Amino acid sequence: MTPDDAVRMALCTQMGREFAAHFQYLAMSAWLEDEGLPELSGFFGRQAAEEHGHAMKIFRYVLDTGGPVAIPGQDAPVASFESVEALVAAALAQEEQVTRWIDELVHLAREHRDPATEAFLQWYVTEQVEEVATMTELLQVVRRAGESLLFVEDYVVRRHPAGGEA
């Protein structure tokens, strides 16, 4: 069965949020590079690419289940930050918000007796657990490092290397 209109529209809304996360992480990556933190910048660049993938998975699912796809407009991302800690705290808040939205979508699919969409969303449920854990740990490391941001750069190289799992 294909998603009904309410479920399809909610999926498209979530697709827009994943694109917004893509742009937000790109803006964070750019700010971090300007701050002279190439490893953290690279990490957020890889997170941005993951978010693009999350959006495109929904794009493909909506098309595969009959469409049509509605791509929402986006506000510009936040482009400057008071500190690296503020940036990572914002990233964690974003992931926690996405988790709430995914949970709401799962409930909506269940209410609308749409097991295919519920099954599709399970990948996002699992992914969000990992992303919240990743940002939580990064925020702890940034707080522990204080002014010693090169320690955070080393942590990113060891824990989240380019080419590895983000």
Note the residues at the interface with ligand FEO (CB under 6 A): 18, 21, 51, 54, 95, 98, 131
- Of 98 and 109, CB closest to ligand FEO: 98
Residue 146 Cβ vs ligand FEO, minimum distance, rounded to whole Å: 27
Residue 128 Cβ vs ligand FEO, minimum distance, rounded to whole Å: 6
Residue 132 Cβ vs ligand FEO, minimum distance, rounded to whole Å: 9
Residue 53 Cβ vs ligand FEO, minimum distance, rounded to whole Å: 8
- Of 118 and 131, CB closest to ligand FEO: 131
Q: Identify the sign of the CA torsion 83, 89, 95, 97.
A: negative
- Of 35 and 96, CB closest to ligand FEO: 96
- Of 95 and 153, CB closest to ligand FEO: 95
Query: Secondary structure of the chain in the HEC alphabet?
Result: CCCCHHHHHHHHHHHHHHHHHHHHHHHHHHHHHHCCCHHHHHHHHHHHHHHHHHHHHHHHHHHHCCCCCCCCCCCCCCCCCCCHHHHHHHHHHHHHHHHHHHHHHHHHHHHCCCHHHHHHHHHHHHHHHHHHHHHHHHHHHHHHHCCCHHHHHHHHHHHCCCCCCC
* 13 token code pair: 């809304």
- Of 16 and 161, CB closest to ligand FEO: 16
Residue 14 Cβ vs ligand FEO, minimum distance, rounded to whole Å: 9
Residue nearest to ligand FEO (CB): 54
